[in-house]
Amino acid sequence: MASRLSEASVRGAGVLAPPGRLLIDLDAVVTNWRTLCDLAAPAAIAGVVKADAYGLGMDQVAPALRRAGCSLFFVAGLDEGAALRRQLPDVEIAVLSAPVDGFQAIYRDYRLLPVLNHRGDLAAWPGDDAVLHIDTGMTRLGLDPAAVRALERRRFRLVMSHLACADEPEHGLNEAQRCLFAELAARFDAPASLANSSGIFLGSGYRFDIARPGMALYGLNPTPGLPSPMRPVLRLEARVLQIREADRPLTVGYGAEAEIRPGQRLATVAAGYADGYLRAASPGAGALLHGRRVPLVGRVSMDTIVLDVTGLPPGSVEPGDWAVLIGEGMDADDLAEAAGTIGYEFLTSLGARYERTYTGGEGAGA
């Protein structure tokens, strides 16, 4: 039987109110792009917008970058490339990790640059409107150095390689990859690209002609262990659903692992691992309630987390209040670290239930 509630009345009653909200600051993305441009000049800065711009929304992020002056974009797959082409008719789009043979018509129809990773790709795409990917030590995608040396001279739009340890400046592989790439890229009359976000910060020798940052545009820290040079992009808030004060010793959540004493107060908040709030983040992570940092208690559930609000004045937190899960100095990097992972994984796991609001990014033309 159909519900008697019309959608309008449901909306009016607030029944459709989302449990959490995600605020994405496109001005911060543009500021980060400009920061990288200034740092890397005379090298140019492309925009890596794969995986829906690391979960932040390619449809919003890419046009903001375009207006700021970004003219070369990298995506992972053909679907992403086609979607971006529909939005931005006048930029270059390179597809990092997709098959080439059998899909030539799609690359042509959407004017996508294939990234040629192996001999089969090279045979499938004889044209010079392509990117040659050289494997200098990542051992993931790209042509072996020996195969590059054996390659007959061909023209490419770009020659690229990818660093395995750019976020570890002391790692010896960085310099080895840089030297090998410099030698191999010099064989081609094409612009060269090696650095991802962290690679830009390894020094001018790593920047070549074009750098390919992703994470730093989205406010993650490309210099782990040092203060972040990037502006935070994301703010994540979720509603307090329930407050409880323990009147006896209790355990909290699945597994009954967390124990609380009488008098401790808890706030249950509407975000869980189904929203990308990493399950492994507990214990260790926290949130902000009315500007005060409060710790997580017990395991992260699918739809909820529990915060210990004993440190806040009684009665100061109520159902309906917003808890800040990311923002005000608590970064995506911090939450990821508490969960034993990296900010990239947290961003690309952000759930679909949040209400997304974008600010800025308008009229950012140079």
Ligand X SMILES: *Cc1c(COP(=O)(O)O)cnc(C)c1O
- Contacts with ligand X by CB under 6 A lie at 48, 50, 96, 162, 196-197, 212-216
Catalytic residue among 50, 54, 273, 358: 50
Q: Which is nearer to ligand X, 182 or 241 (CB)?
A: 182
Q: Which is nearer to ligand X, 176 or 274 (CB)?
A: 176
Q: Which is nearer to ligand X, 27 or 345 (CB)?
A: 345
Phi-psi category of residue 98: left, alpha or beta, with phi > 0 → left and psi -120 to 50 → alpha: beta
Contact 131, 147 (CB under 8 A): no
Shortest distance (Å) from residue 313 CB to ligand X:
42
Catalytic residue among 54, 254, 273, 277: 254
Locus of tokens 């375009």: 66
Count CB atoms within 10 A of the CB of residue 241. Answer: 16
Angle of helix 26-40 relative to helix 58-68, nearest 10 degrees, comes to 50
**How far apart (Å, rounded) are the C-alpha atoms in residues 51 and 48?**
9
Whose CA is closest to 219, among 348, 31, 67? 31
338 — phi, psi (to 5°)? -60, -30
The strand pair at 44-45 and 210-211 is best described as parallel
Q: Is 206 a catalytic residue?
A: no
Which residue is closest to ligand X by CB? 214
Shortest distance (Å) from residue 109 CB to ligand X:
24
Shortest distance (Å) from residue 75 CB to ligand X:
10
**How far apart (Å, rounded) are the C-alpha atoms in residues 265 and 144?**
59
Q: Is 218 a catalytic residue?
A: no
Q: Which is nearer to ligand X, 162 or 265 (CB)?
A: 162
Shortest distance (Å) from residue 361 CB to ligand X:
19
**What residues act catalytically?**
50, 254
